[in-house]
Structure 1
Amino acid sequence: MTIDVREAYRRALEDFGALVHRIGPEQWGNPTPCVDWDVRALVNHVVRENLGAPELLAGRTATEIGDLFEGDLLDDDPIKAFDTSAVAAMHAVSGDGALTCVTHLSFGDVPGREYIAELFADALVHTWDLARAIGADERLDPELVEACTAWFAESENGYRPAEAVGAHQEVPSGTDPQTRLLAFWGRRA
């Protein structure tokens, strides 16, 4: 990865959060590019990931966490729920040992650095999903796109069989980097 993975994650999460703060009351039910998810479900997914990060980086297994973060985590104040979860996630990834610990994910054990890279990629791609759903500017930070593309080129074989990403979409040669990245993740830009 061309930039520090924790910095990449922070920036992607901030970009996602900026869009969360722009969601209008009438937009929470808008469909997203994620099959079966509306805007509220998408934000809830990211909040779930954020809340799980401190647990997983502290050594708990996905099995131990179980359904702790299932259901609607947004309650009556989705923006506050997101903000609170983002602070917790960033605190966890910034902690001593976060890069070198072993995280016990549902599909196997991975180093903390790899898990944080996955969180980064998830936040980045979901930023595009949210932008599309609410009609915001869909351009992602080019440096983050480049970093995510480089990471995913090395990690794709571990995530695609686990169905952690959508089916790769074909794009013509000469397609811009963002569109290529989104296609790797199963999105049609």
Structure 2
Amino acid sequence: MADDQEVLARYSRRAGRFADVISGAAPGRWSAPSPCADWNAADVVQHAVDMHAAMFASTPTGLTPAPAASEDPLGAFNSARADIERALRDPAVVGLAVQTPMGPSTFAAHVDTVASADLVIHTWDLARALGLDYSIDPDELEDQWQGAQQIPDIMRQPGAFGPGIVVFGPVVEVSADAPRQDRILGLLGRDPYWT
């Protein structure tokens, strides 16, 4: 299990990439569709913010009030990012026992496996929605490969974790000799060639 400093460093690296993509958006792109069905670019950012808020569900605190992603995508995300980073630096919070849809965890482990890990793929989603070139970091692909091959069926069932919640869509078939990024995206329910 990763120590808390590793969790913070990994989260900060992933959040930095996500924020960089937000910053790279051309004016007027926030209503553009994304590879995630029914979401536009701003919705991808709002989902990331909502996942950050969910990390605090079993704690006495929550996210600092901030604008919605539809109004200020970078401000909304950076506010949520600052709250997570602050919590991951707080010894009283990182080891806090929390309840999650997948069972008991610690705050730090929950952030690491959900909100932080989520940013890896959603950075690609957001870049595609914004019309930006983006390749997932090779080290992240290596880390994601094993888990992407072992997604339980329940994670693909709409509503299994609550009304309206879809964790992963159906597998998108990709050639066995396609690049690893494309194969991972397919396993996570994305069309790697989406434009």
Q: TM-score, normalised to structure 1's length?
A: 0.78
Do 1:9 and 1:117's aligned partners in 2 also have CA atoms closer than 8 Å? no
Do 2:98 and 2:105's aligned partners in 1 also have CA atoms closer than 8 Å? yes
Which consecutive unaligned segments of at least 5 residues does structure 1 have?
none
Report the identity percentage.
Answer: 26
> Cα offset for 1:29?
0.6
Q: TM-score, normalised to structure 2's length?
A: 0.76
Of Structure 1 and Structure 2, which has the larger fraction of its residues in helix? 1
1:91 equivalent among 75, 86, 89: 86
> Cα offset for 1:115?
4.5
Counterpart AA for 1:29: S
Do 2:171 and 2:188's aligned partners in 1 also have CA atoms closer than 8 Å? yes
Indicate the residue corresponding to 2:129 in structure 1.
133
Alignment pair present for 1:109 and 2:103: yes
1:81 equivalent among 76, 81, 91: 76
Counterpart AA for 2:78: D
Indicate the residue corresponding to 1:56 in structure 2.
57
Cα RMSD between the aligned structures? 3.0
Counterpart AA for 2:16: E
Alignment pair present for 1:14 and 2:16: yes
Indicate the residue corresponding to 1:32 in structure 2.
34
Distance 2:147 2:11 in 1: 13
Counterpart AA for 1:79: L
| Higher deviation after alignment, 171-180 or 75-84 | 75-84
Distance 1:169 1:2 in 2: 31
Distance 1:110 1:184 in 2: 26
Indicate the residue corresponding to 1:170 in structure 2.
173
> Cα offset for 1:15?
0.7
